[in-house]
């Protein structure tokens, strides 16, 4: 079974259709929820005037979304923008930027036009599982926060949805959440240490590997990102699993760990094996890059067995243009993989290949016929 520390990331990042449904569709349903109709258009029965702002510098506008993507954003009255990215974002960690005073004024005006102080405190639509969004504004001792789980389906006025998107747009969160051509420049402008070795900097590189596009991830590596330990293994494994030869070659050149085992008893982390990830799509170019670093081709894990057994199990194969699983099997054998090794169920790679109707079966049979002395 595939290492589960990547499972949720695979479900949400490898399937845009699934990710797109999350705001509108229950996690256990594929049908849109009916929109709840609240009295007074979703506003309080009595209008609450938007207070006049005496001290513009006291303004704090906050937006929090999660878990996919998961991040927090705060805009201050002087135009300072503070972002903290967590899960499923291209750039995680704490970052900052600056917007103009006119942009801040535009946001405040949008809160006023949305009649923000006349909103309910929560819009949940009688559901507790879903994306949690919180948006708030405070100034001069006044604070109003609105929490919504199902948003429009929970009866929330459309003006709030528009307001949330406007905060993202004006603050420029796409540079961090999705990543774009400006991301690296923005990180440089804030003084980000691309080669930082603390957990926040290291986790950012891994998150970028999982969630950023290949061009941005490679740009981060070119800017000096240096993942180490398990972070380096995870980043390279993700590059291998996504057939990103550019990133994989850079990371292997840096000397990342080819295999990393979680400490005994730690259930939050799982084993990382770059060779197995390189075999998943069966692209010879990717496998060749890893084999050139001389990994242990007979390392066996309880769940996946040896790399050859993993490759032989067609349940793990995800063919793409350029896949050739049979050639990958031949490459493993040439590198010293033992076809006679047995897994926890006492099955060889050939036993698995035949049972799973894997395309590597003929290559294994042919090699074993040509090398009878290896028995």
Tens digit of pLDDT for each residue in 88-100? 999 999 999 999 9
| Low-confidence spans in the chain with pLDDT less than 70 | 1-34, 125-129, 373-375
Task: Tell me the per-residue pLDDT of 289-312, one tens digit each, with 9 for 90 and over.
Answer: 999 999 999 999 877 899 999 999
Q: How far is CA 285 from CA 33, 217, 259, 306, in A?
A: 46, 19, 19, 20
Closest alpha carbon to 262 in 308, 229, 287 = 229
For residue 21, what pLDDT is reported? Answer: 27
For residue 276, what pLDDT is reported? Answer: 94
**What region, left, alpha or beta, does residue 40 occupy, with left being phi > 0 and alpha being psi -120 to 50 degrees?**
left
- Tracing tokens 């060749």 back to the chain, one arrives at 288
Domains of the chain: 4-177 (3.30.1560), 192-285 (no CATH), 296-375 (1.25.40.20)
Cα(125)–Cα(151) distance, rounded to whole angstroms?
8
For residue 142, what pLDDT is reported? Answer: 98
What is the value of pTM for the model shown? 0.81
Task: Tell me the per-residue pLDDT of 37-80, one tens digit each, with 9 for 90 and over.
Answer: 888 989 999 999 999 999 999 999 999 998 889 999 999 999 99
Which tokens in the block code for residue 50? 């938007």
DSSP state of 32: B
Closest alpha carbon to 111 in 57, 155, 167, 152 = 167
Cα(87)–Cα(316) distance, rounded to whole angstroms?
25
């Amino acid at each position: 079974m595939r290492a589960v520390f990547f499972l949720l990331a695979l479900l949400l990042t490898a399937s845009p259709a699934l990710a797109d449904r999350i705001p509108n569709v229950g996690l256990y349903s594929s049908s849109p929820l009916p929109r709840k109709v609240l009295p007074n258009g979703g506003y309080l029965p009595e209008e609450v005037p938007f207070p006049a702002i005496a001290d513009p510098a006291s303004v704090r506008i906050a937006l929090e979304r999660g878990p996919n993507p998961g991040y927090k954003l705060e805009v201050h009255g002087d135009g300072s923008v503070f972002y903290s990215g967590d899960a499923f974002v291209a750039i995680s960690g704490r970052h900052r930027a600056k917007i103009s005073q006119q942009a801040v004024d535009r946001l405040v005006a949008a809160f006023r036009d949305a009649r923000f102080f006349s909103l309910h405190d929560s819009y949940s639509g009688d559901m507790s599982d879903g994306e949690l969004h919180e948006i708030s504004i405070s100034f001069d001792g006044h604070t109003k926060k609105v929490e919504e789980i199902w948003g429009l389906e929970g009866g929330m006025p459309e003006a709030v949805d528009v307001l949330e998107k406007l905060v993202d747009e004006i603050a420029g969160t796409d540079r961090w959440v999705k990543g774009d051509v400006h991301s690296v420049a923005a990180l440089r402008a804030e003084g980000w240490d691309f080669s930082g070795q603390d957990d926040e900097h290291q986790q950012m590189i891994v998150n970028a590997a999982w969630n950023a596009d290949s061009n941005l991830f490679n740009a981060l590596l070119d800017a000096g990102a240096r993942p180490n330990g398990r972070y380096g293994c995870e980043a390279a494994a993700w590059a291998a699993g996504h057939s990103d030869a550019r990133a994989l070659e850079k990371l292997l050149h840096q000397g990342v760990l080819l295999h990393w085992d979680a400490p005994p008893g730690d259930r939050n982390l799982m084993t990382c094996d770059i060779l197995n990830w390189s075999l998943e799509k069966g692209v010879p170019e990717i496998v060749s890059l890893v084999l050139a670093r001389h990994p242990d081709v007979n390392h066996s894990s309880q769940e996946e067995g040896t790399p050859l057994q993993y490759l032989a199990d067609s349940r793990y194969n995800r063919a793409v243009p350029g896949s050739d699983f049979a050639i990958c099997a031949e490459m493993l054998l040439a590198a010293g993989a033992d076809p006679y090794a047995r897994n926890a169920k006492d099955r060889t790679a050939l036993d698995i290949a035949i049972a799973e109707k894997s395309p590597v079966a003929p290559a294994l049979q042919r090699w074993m016929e040509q090398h009878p002395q290896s028995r």
